[in-house]
Amino acid sequence: MTIDQAGVPEARPGPAFPEHEARVDALRRQLTAISGEATVRLAKRTSNLFRSRAAAQHPGLDVSGFTHVLRVDPDGRTADVEGMVTYEQLVDATLPHGLMPLVVPQLKTITLGGAVTGLGIESSSFRNGMPHESVLELEVLTGDGRIVVATPDNEHRALFHGFPNSYGTLGYALRLRILLEPVKPFVKLRHVRHHDRAKYFEALREICATSEHEGEHVDFVDGTVFGPDELYLTLATFTGTAPATSDYTWLDIYYRSIQRRETDHLTVRDYLWRWDTDWFWCSRAFGVQHRLPRLLLGRRFLRSSVYWKAVALDRRFKIAQRLLKLRRLPPEETIVQDIEVPVGRAAEFLDFFEREIPISPVWICPLRQRPGDVRWPLYELDPEELYVNFGFWSAVPLDPGERDGVHNRMIEAEVTRLGGHKSLYSDSFYTEDEFWRLYNGDAYRELKRAYDPAGRLLGLYEKCVRRG
């Protein structure tokens, strides 16, 4: 790397996307202007993280311009995108070509860079893994100020494989080249009810192994647990035609249809965003699952990004806490988590959860690492194993004398006991030794020395547990 007279690293030669390179150069100058003693952070107005962080003491890096889909290559089935592109933008760019990303996380405002550095999952994950597994090339602004292009087999391959689950503590994704897959215009859904959890997870295992159910091919699998004897698998299949399509973007609520309909049809776009309108089922906390408020709000305001702003206001002004106190109700502990355990331990985890954590419904999503001899050291999965992700997002009352975090800590301990993993987008309560044992501290420290030796970016434990 060479340095110009202003002390700014020069742009790498041969830019494929000149306007993108101009944005990269401007960002590089921003970084140079930040004091060498300051912790570097992004200046972001929005986030899909559900954990608080300390206020920044210095100006952040402005990456608001990195929101361009640079190219969609229909023949090669790839897309070049900037790191702050949302999945909503990307899907809108790829669907006209009959293509979609291999995994599309549920919320429209999740960014490509965020999903790759912080993981993601959806109903195609039983065959396509996580978003980072479809990345071919990754351009990263590292903690030491370099712009590096990491691929699976170049000199930055360690960063390429160690970037997932690093949460911006090694660097920031500026551009990604990802794989795409073909789609059909519609998706047929089958909601299959089970009454026995052991049979439910055995059926899930079999469907994911064969990609079919009762003679029909299956492209997508997820599930919803409403109670101990009310468990649904939703099996979805691409189709070229549909007798009629449902609309869950305004008055009707998708998750309620699971209990009421055995089959359904959606456009492929509406299928990808079926959970966003009501933030799964979390919109009920804002009182918008009744007909009148939905009529008044319209489609524009029924989306996850609006609910997230409401949550941010609540955190800032502690509205929910004050209301509980005024009503003389016990304080509540927020439990917003996604965890996964091997499918053979899934029924055991659900037993524990229903016994100890009074939250319902619960989302279920199977996950398997994509075929290939690849290791992702900061979030290692057994490549031969099918995992079951459990998503639960609510709050539970604290008994007298209970400290905030007691239920979350109980969940963490159970997940570890069952040989599972926990995503770090929300609150974590691990001790430092435990954290590094679970998230490969040796590999992380080696990457930190190579790409952020001065520690200009927060460390992973400081960011995800100490909430720096």
CB atoms within 10 A of CB 296: 9
Are 210 and 127 spatial neighbours (Cβ–Cβ below 8 Å)? no
pLDDT in tens, 211-246: 999 999 999 999 999 999 999 999 999 999 999 999
pLDDT in tens, 448-458: 999 999 999 99
How many residues would you count in the chain? 468
pLDDT in tens, 59-75: 678 899 999 999 999 99
Torsion of Cα atoms, 135 then 137 then 141 then 142, to 10°: 80
- 368 pLDDT tier (thresholds 50, 70, 90): very high
Tell whether the model's pLDDT for residue 275 goes beyond 60.
yes
pLDDT of res. 140? 97
The separation between the first and the last C-alpha atoms of the chain, rounded to the nearest angstrom, is 31
Are 82 and 51 spatial neighbours (Cβ–Cβ below 8 Å)? no
C-alpha angle 356-359-363 in degrees, rounded to nearest 5: 115
C-alpha angle 256-260-264 in degrees, rounded to nearest 5: 90
Q: Find all residues with CB under 8 Å of 248, minimum gap 6, and list them.
A: 254, 257, 266, 270, 274, 277, 278
Backbone φ and ψ of 375, nearest 5° = -115, 135
DSSP line for 100-141? EES---SSTT-BHHHHHHH----TTHHHH--GGGGEEEEEEE
- Alpha-carbon distance of 336 to 425, in angstroms, equals 9
- Which helix (H) or strand (E) element contains residue 206? helix 197-210
Task: Look at 47 and 135; give whichever has higher pLDDT.
Answer: 135
DSSP secondary-structure letter at 357?
-
All structural domains of the chain: 18-183 (3.30.465.10)
Instruction: Looking at mean pLDDT, say which of 2-16, 150-164, 312-326 comes out highest.
Output: 150-164
- 3 pLDDT tier (thresholds 50, 70, 90): very low
- 288: region left, alpha or beta (phi > 0 left; psi from -120 to 50 alpha): alpha
**SS3 state of residue 91:** helix
- 43 pLDDT tier (thresholds 50, 70, 90): low
- 326 pLDDT tier (thresholds 50, 70, 90): confident
Are 159 and 146 spatial neighbours (Cβ–Cβ below 8 Å)? no
**Radius of gyration (C-alpha) of the chain in whole angstroms:** 22
Mean pLDDT across 127-147: 95
Output the pTM of the full model.
Answer: 0.92
* Cis peptide leading into residue 361 (ω within 30°): yes
- Alpha-carbon distance of 241 to 119, in angstroms, equals 33
Tell whether the model's pLDDT for residue 323 goes beyond 90.
no
Tell whether the model's pLDDT for residue 15 goes beyond 50.
no
Q: Among 185, 183, 178, which Cα is nearest to 130's? A: 178
SS (H, E, C) 392-453: EEEEEECCCCCCCCHHHHHHHHHHHHCCCEECCCECCCCCHHHHHHHCCHHHHHHHHHHHCC
